[in-house]
Structure 1
Amino acid sequence: MNRLRVTSGPVLALAALWLATRALMLWLTVHSGARLLGGGAVTREVWRLYFRWYGLLADGSFPAHDTLWQYPPGAGAVLLAPGLLPGLTYFQAFVLLTLAVDALTTAALVRAGTRPGRSLLGAAAWTGGLPLLLHLPLARYDVQVTALAVLSLLASARSPRAGGVLGALGALVKGWPALVLLGTPRGRPTRTAWASAVWTGVAGLALLAVFFTHPLSFLREQGGRGVQLESLGGTALNLARHAGWPGRVRYRYGAMELVGPHVHAVATASLALTALSFGLLVLWRVRARRWTGATPFDAALSAVLLFTVTSRVISPQYLIWLIGLAAVCLTSRQTGQRPVAVLVLAASALSTVVYPMCYREVIDGSWAGCLLMLARNGVLTAAAVLSFVRLWRGARPPARTTVPATQSRTGADRLPDHALSVS
């Protein structure tokens, strides 16, 4: 009863915060045509692009030969879901479902945070962190993907099988949630989680292949992507424009990409850094000797951060993933990622200034735009490095404290004779 009284106050405060912030996000969505909010560009992706894909998916086909379709086939189920709500436009139904999934994620984090030895800080980070991206989360399906990753991590502690299933479903929708299984404890939990994930993935792909044509068409378009303006490589090239680099910005593959000399080399370097990051994560997994309840959470955040900062594309909605994973870490009092979570929230706020507020400055390559991108990506890079360093250090067993022989003897000399007797 006492514990109930202690937790009910913070939970009610979180509920009030969620209602207030989501009302604000809805208001921003309704008024998204304002110039400072992107002039309608943020919400346009739902009612124009997603709705067009919805029509194709409803006819039983994935958008083959569409350069903008770069998502695993599970994304089709998410984009079809708004059709289950009659009496609403596609846009209205999409936003309503996104809010429902957001509420589910918040409830899961609250439930995890109220358990003994856990913290409500994770639920607070998600509730207060998501609005830092303004109305963007309501106009992308990344909240749904992040929810699957969050639920996978929270479920894995009690049921590795359920964690594997949810992780695989997330991977079927957008790939990256497969990384949440990286930190599963060794032995049976790992075998169970990964086996469940593989079987779920295979079954899901088979089911989608039965009901839809061209389920793997996204692979062709994904391979053709270049260097997005907001990536680390894009930031470097944008700065190079001030030094005479003759490249320019062009809309390709659903993003603003840089084209010109040396772009291919930058893209190759990004892929090499991603491969190096994967190697470091595998090395951590092999050498890790100490697991705590927070290790799977910390490993997931570190892995996704590394893959994000080394990617050729760092879209603003990627911050939704990082906020969700940071929130899961903060549900545990054993996490070593608290300063990383602060950096993630700071990067989210900076990302909003970049897009949609000052995106024209970024596209034009002005000094203001370049410095904004440098700040956002600098914070993200610092977060990724710090996250992996803390993950690596946390995997080492605590050092044993040994007393030098001279100190031991000196101390023993001061003890009475009967204290040294073994009889």
Structure 2
Amino acid sequence: MNRLRESPGPVLALTAAWLATRALMLWVLVHSGTRLLGGGSVTREVWRLYFRWYGALSHGTFPVHDTTWQYPPGAGAVLLAPGLLPGLTYFQAFVVLTLAADALIVAALVRAGTRPGRSLCGAALWTGGLPLLLHVPLARYDVQVTALAVLSLLTARRSPRACGVLGALGAVVKVWPALVLLGTPPGRVTRTAWTWAVAAAGASVALLAVSFDNPFGFLREQGGRGVQLESLGGTALNLARHAGWSGRTRYQYGAVELVGPYTHVVATVSLALTAAAFGLLVLWRVRARHWSPATPYDAALTAVLLFTVTSRVISPQYMVWLLGLAAVCLTSRHTGQRPVALLVLAASALSSVVYPLSYGEVVAGTWTGCLLILARNVLLTAAAVLSFVRLWRSTRSPAAKAPTVTRPRADSDRLPDHALSVS
């Protein structure tokens, strides 16, 4: 810490890199109308879809009978926020707020990385990894959600209450941040974090339900979703087109999905795999015996990876979540997820080739498109399996077999810097 204070070079270099890469992302965003970058399909989501939802929300109601609205009520607050910036169009204000959330993430990662026993590798991964997704992160609200998840994890050791509240707010916006609470150490830390999370989630949902009409309409639309083209099941069906499968693609529920024979079976299998993944995570939680300072971070990345690869939907913006969680893992020198972070980086780079650069090939089901999405999903699957294996082994270490066990001090919300053995 003292060395970093005396020599701010790494932090200045990261700041310069962030400014340069975000300028490049903005340049790509401005030129996103070119055919190579998808002909404006990426930015269209903001100025057409999000702005339409903003209109409904501004009149006190969540979108009604809109199959593309599949998000928890907290998403409404994020989509209304651009209206608070005067003098800017909705699109401009949305991008400004996204960049602000991005800056908040990198600042939090830098602050965490400059503490004793920590590393700036996490801030470096986020700074250099997000531009691999080109301009997609600037035209989706996943950066804002990831900011809540990242802050939740980074505040866990000092304030389990803040960890729980931030995780809950993220879950109310887009569900998955609830998974960041999975790895909180047993004892008072977990009780405090989860109690405050439930209270915060309940209070925020109640407030939104009172303030807006139709707050739970998203459940109907979310349940009706099929198999998205980019999911593991979609990849299998897309390849099956070359073997004579008679299905086709259709734009519905806000995504390109596959329709035809066996799609319902594939969707059901995906849901079953998600349930199995949840079961594995519960088993890990019950059997885990050794918590290091990095365990909450590693568990969050593992959980989101497992839920991502088993999902019926693997949209390109999902990579934003994984990059953020991988970055948090790398702030700790105790993490076992370094190889997983490299796989996430590789999958992110390939995701941009899939969408928007070669999405026409993917939708058409050409061999090029099929192999590209297959390669991306193989990387994600390998990352998920490796992540779970390394998490399991790290919490079943020989230290856990010692007859003497310790727990976090009951009179403190702070975790010690050394590893904890718990029964």
* TM-score normalised by structure 2 residue count: 0.94
How far apart in 1 are the matches of 2:3 and 2:72? Answer: 44
- 1:287-306 to structure 2, matched below 5 A, reads 287-306=287-306
| 1:172-229 deviations in Å (ceiling 9; x for gaps) | 0000000000000001101100000000000001100111000011000000000000
C-alpha contact (below 8 Å) 2:14/2:127 kept by paired residues: yes
How far apart in 2 are the matches of 1:320 and 1:375? Answer: 18
- 1:269-280 to structure 2, matched below 5 A, reads 269-280=269-280
- 1:344-363 to structure 2, matched below 5 A, reads 344-363=344-363
- 1:217-236 to structure 2, matched below 5 A, reads 217-236=217-236
C-alpha contact (below 8 Å) 1:51/1:90 kept by paired residues: yes
Residue identity matched to 1:249: T
Q: Secondary structure at the match of 1:324?
A: helix
Shift in alpha-carbon separation, 1:86–1:370, aligned structure 2, 3 A:
same
Percent of aligned pairs with the same residue? 80
C-alpha contact (below 8 Å) 1:133/1:352 kept by paired residues: yes
- 1:130-141 to structure 2, matched below 5 A, reads 130-141=130-141
Q: Secondary structure at the match of 2:290?
A: coil
**Which residue is 1:201 aligned to?**
201
1:113 equivalenced with 2:79 (yes/no): no
Larger Rg: 1
How far apart in 2 are the matches of 1:359 and 1:197? Answer: 39
Deviates more, 1:7-16 or 1:314-323: 7-16
1:151 equivalenced with 2:151 (yes/no): yes
| 1:335-384 deviations in Å (ceiling 9; x for gaps) | 00000000000000000000000000000000000000110000000000
Residue identity matched to 1:11: V
**Which residue is 2:332 aligned to?**
332
**Which residue is 1:405 aligned to?**
none
How far apart in 2 are the matches of 1:74 and 1:10? Answer: 36
Give aligned pairs, total. 402
Long gaps (5+) in structure 1: 403-423
Shift in alpha-carbon separation, 1:281–1:222, aligned structure 2, 3 A:
same
**Which residue is 1:239 aligned to?**
239
C-alpha contact (below 8 Å) 2:289/2:400 kept by paired residues: no
**Which residue is 1:58 aligned to?**
58
1:88 equivalenced with 2:88 (yes/no): yes
**Which residue is 2:377 aligned to?**
377
How far apart in 2 are the matches of 1:157 and 1:25? Answer: 33
How far apart in 2 are the matches of 1:267 and 1:21? Answer: 38
Shift in alpha-carbon separation, 1:293–1:243, aligned structure 2, 3 A:
same
Shift in alpha-carbon separation, 1:398–1:53, aligned structure 2, 3 A:
same
Residue identity matched to 2:120: L
Residue identity matched to 1:239: L
Residue identity matched to 2:213: T
How far apart in 2 are the matches of 1:2 and 1:135? Answer: 37
Residue identity matched to 1:178: A
CA shift at 1:77, angstroms? 0.2
| 1:41-67 deviations in Å (ceiling 9; x for gaps) | 000000000001001101000002100
**Which residue is 1:26 aligned to?**
26
Q: Secondary structure at the match of 1:37?
A: coil
C-alpha contact (below 8 Å) 1:7/1:114 kept by paired residues: no
CA shift at 1:3, angstroms? 1.9
How far apart in 2 are the matches of 1:110 and 1:266? Answer: 42
**Which residue is 2:78 aligned to?**
78
**Which residue is 2:211 aligned to?**
211
Shift in alpha-carbon separation, 1:242–1:15, aligned structure 2, 3 A:
same
Q: Secondary structure at the match of 1:110?
A: helix
Shift in alpha-carbon separation, 1:274–1:87, aligned structure 2, 3 A:
same
C-alpha contact (below 8 Å) 1:228/1:257 kept by paired residues: yes
CA shift at 1:157, angstroms? 1.1
C-alpha contact (below 8 Å) 2:290/2:400 kept by paired residues: no
CA shift at 1:400, angstroms? 9.4
Shift in alpha-carbon separation, 1:227–1:211, aligned structure 2, 3 A:
same
How far apart in 1 are the matches of 2:216 and 2:295? Answer: 34
1:367 equivalenced with 2:367 (yes/no): yes
